[in-house]
Every structure is written in structure tokens, then in C-alpha cells.
Amino acid sequence: MRAVIAVVSALLVATLAACGLSPAGSGTGTGSRIGTGGDGDREHRSHAVSTPTPPAAGSSSAAAERGTASPQPTAEPTACPHGELLPAVEIPAVHADPVHIPEAVIGGERIPAATIPGVDIPAQRVPAQCTEIKPAPGGCLGAASIPPVTIPAVEIPAVEIPGVNAGGIEIDPVRAEAVRAEAVRAEGVSAPEVCQAEPKGGGFVPYVIRPYIIRPYIIRHFVIRPFLIRPYTCNDRRECIPAVEVPAVEVPAVEVRAVEIRAAELKAYEAGESEVLEGEDTIAFSLDADVLFDFDSAAVKPAAAAELRRIARQIARKAAPDATIRIDGHTDSQGEDAYNLTLSRDRAQAVLDWLTTRGGLDRSRLEATGYGEGRPVRPNATEEGRAKNRRVVISTAT
């Protein structure tokens, strides 16, 4: 019995070797494993032979092993948090079938068959892009930019219908040269950040403007390789060769629209004791509490009237219709948290009352909030920092 098993085993090994495979667990050969389950079962069922092949010297995998692989293309944006999404422009592929010229015999001479290659121009793409207006601090307009863009070149290859010189028929080759549309590029454009400069001690702050910028419309014009024909021709023995036609090939024009970022302006204003923080759609006035109130008090000082009246005029002129006007009170970290929170609320409410009773603003549009010491703008470790943190901020959308 053992002899029979040995013979069968030998036959099995010989059969597997002839197929380029090795028995499971033999540790030899490079074929698929048999009966190991999982991926090994799939390999066995497909009779795949897995022979590792070293990467070619110029391949990307070889380059990766050497640490010189080219970087992968950057993913195209799908949203632009600080600008406009410029959608991709898809340029379709162009295809033309080959033209086959059958063999012919003229005057006993054989004119071999020929094939005029077709045309296959792959699809092209102008990637999606983002314009950008960078975030900027109050009193500034952020830098704006539109990236460059390129429509790639395209070429339709040359084509030739071969001539004939046999059996009394002479026809010159018919040829159309390659036609090409060069790449078209529009350079990027930008405008720098611009900021208002407030004079020391107050006064008139002039307007600033970030100018309009535009990346112009560009077009890659259509190109066409014309229709070609080698005419039907006969000799004096009435032996004829058929006409051969190669259809025209056209690549349509490609357009990339113009892109613009409109000019933006921060209007002039009269500066006083408050710090003005103006963005593209908001304006805020930050007043030191020491300007408005005596120590530990929530009663507006008479000396603050001129500054509050000036702010009320600015708010009335610049606020968007029906926009809420916020008055936020803040303190430093000296004292108990609960006390500071109450003091900040009382101070914010006192300024709201002043702006409605003496500043001419509509009370229904005003909202007072106290934050106590919870939102410092400077470290509370120094007296200068604490003074900046004791403040009331009046803000609105413009």
C-alpha cells in the first residue's frame, strides 16, 4: 500500500512540476499555493503563475525604490473657502478610423494593400481652480489673486495617401501636413492687501481701495486637417483603381472664460478714541472702559459723549439695513468671575441705553451682552494688558 501511495505522490509531483507549480508546503517553485485557503485558493482556481519581475529602470516603481519618484498631481479643489470655484473645462477626445486600401493588380503589377492610420487624440482637461481673497485684519482688505491657466496644445498628425505608378497609371501621393494649435496661457493676476492708517490722536482716516483685477478670456482656436481624395483612375486597358478618401479631422475650439475680482473699498471715517476694526462686511468700534466709565462703575461718563456720538453717526451711516448692532462688554481678570460678568453686562447695557436715548439709534436693533473676563485680547499679567481687556465693543454688519 505504501508503495502505491509513493507512486501516486511521485506522479503528482511530476504533474505539478510540468505545470510550473509546486506542492503545498514544499518550499520550492514560484507558483500558486494549493489548498491554503483565502487568496491561495483564488490563485489555484485561476492557475495563475506569480513570478516576481524586477521593475524596469525607468518605471515609477523603480523610481520610488530609489526615492526619486515624481510627486503625484495635486487634487483639484471642490470648494473654495476664500474665493470662487472655477470649474474644470473638459476637452473631449477626437477619433477618426483608419482607412484601408485593398490590394489591386494593374497591368500585371501588384499594388499592395495599405492602411492609412486613424487619429486618436486623448481627452484633455483644464483643471478646476480657486480665486482667493485672503482673510485680513480689521481696517484692511485682504490680498486677492486669480491663478494662471493654460489650455494645452493639440496636434492632428500628417497623413498621406500613397501614389500609384503601375500599368500605365501614374498618380502622385496625396498629403496633408500636420496641423497644430499651440498652448494658450493667461498669467495669474493679484492685488496686495491694503490697510487704512489711523492718525495718532484721532482725525480723518482716508478711504483705501483694492483695485479690480481680471484674468482675460482665452481661446484655443479649432484646427482641421482637410479631407483628402485620391481619385478613381483607369488606364487605356480599362483597368481601374478605386478612389480613396480620408475624411477631414477637426478639433473644436476650447474657451476659458474671463475671471474677475471686483474692486473693494473701505470708506473714509473720522477717528476718535475708539479702535476701529473694519472688514469687507463688518465694522466694529472698541472703546477702552476707562474712556467710558469710572473705576468699578457702569455709569457712562459725560466726557465719553463726544466719542459715543461720533460712533453712533458712523453706525447709522454704515450699518446694513435691519442689521443687528451688538454691544459687548468685557473686563479684565481682577476680582471674582461672577462680579466681572455682571459688571460687563451692566456696562454694555449702559452704552446701549446711551446710544438709543442720546445717539439716535433704534433700540429694537441693539443687543447688549456681557462676557466678563472670558474673552481677553491681551494677557492680564500686566496693567497695560488689563487696560486693553477692559473694553466695550460696538459692532454691526455693513
Q: What is the pLDDT of residues 274-283, one digit of tens each?
A: 677 777 688 8
Top-confidence residue, 42 or 325: 325
159 and 47, same structural domain? no
The one-letter code for the residue type at 258 is: A
253 and 216, same structural domain? yes
Backbone angles phi, psi at 397, to 5 degrees: -80, 145
DSSP state of 303: G
CATH number for 327: 3.30.1330.60
292 and 246, same structural domain? no
Top-confidence residue, 291 or 50: 291
pLDDT digits (tens, 9 = 90+) for 216-272: 999 999 999 999 999 999 999 999 999 999 999 999 999 999 999 999 988 776 555
Q: Which residues contact 75 (CB under 8 A, 6 or more apart)?
A: none
255 and 149, same structural domain? yes
206 and 126, same structural domain? yes
183, part of any domain:
no
Q: pLDDT grade, residue 147 (50/70/90)?
A: very high
108 and 240, same structural domain? yes
> Closest by alpha carbon to 279, among 144, 143, 140?
140
189, part of any domain:
no
89 and 60, same structural domain? no
Tell me the β-bridge partners of 220. Answer: 254
Average pLDDT of the chain is 81
77, part of any domain:
no
248 and 295, same structural domain? no
201 and 114, same structural domain? yes
Mean pLDDT of 107-115: 91
Range of the domain at 106: 85-175+195-261
Top-confidence residue, 139 or 24: 139
The whole-angstrom separation of Cα 290 and Cα 381 is 18
The whole-angstrom separation of Cα 185 and Cα 191 is 20
What integer pLDDT is reported at residue 38 of this predicted model? 39
CB 394 within 8 A of CB 315: yes
The whole-angstrom separation of Cα 343 and Cα 349 is 10
CB neighbours (10 Å) of residue 89?
16
C-alpha separations of 50 from 43, 355, 386 in Å: 9, 83, 73
Q: pLDDT grade, residue 31 (50/70/90)?
A: very low
The whole-angstrom separation of Cα 168 and Cα 152 is 48
Tell me the β-bridge partners of 100. Answer: 115
Mean pLDDT of 312-329: 88
The region that residue 281 occupies, defined by phi over 0 for left and psi between -120 and 50 for alpha, beta otherwise, is alpha
Mean pLDDT of 151-156: 98
190, part of any domain:
no
379, part of any domain:
yes
What integer pLDDT is reported at residue 317 of this predicted model? 85
CB 367 within 8 A of CB 349: no
Q: pLDDT grade, residue 11 (50/70/90)?
A: very low
Mean pLDDT of 91-116: 94
Mean pLDDT of 350-371: 92
Is the predicted pLDDT of residue 92 greater than 90, yes or no?
Answer: yes
Transcribe 354-382 into DSSP letters.
HHHHTS---GGGEEEEE-TTSS-SS-TTS
Mean pLDDT of 364-390: 89
200 and 122, same structural domain? yes
> Closest by alpha carbon to 30, among 43, 45, 12, 42?
43
Please count the structural domains in the chain: 3
Mean pLDDT of 89-93: 97
Q: What is the pTM of this model?
A: 0.55
pLDDT digits (tens, 9 = 90+) for 32-86: 333 333 333 333 333 333 334 444 443 444 444 444 444 455 689 999 999 999 9
Cell readout for 143 is 490680498
The whole-angstrom separation of Cα 389 and Cα 174 is 86
289 and 314, same structural domain? yes
Is the predicted pLDDT of residue 374 greater than 50, yes or no?
Answer: yes
The one-letter code for the residue type at 118 is: G
89, part of any domain:
yes
223, part of any domain:
yes
288, part of any domain:
yes
CB 225 within 8 A of CB 181: no
291 and 252, same structural domain? no
DSSP state of 227: P
Mean pLDDT of 344-370: 92
Is the predicted pLDDT of residue 328 greater than 90, yes or no?
Answer: yes
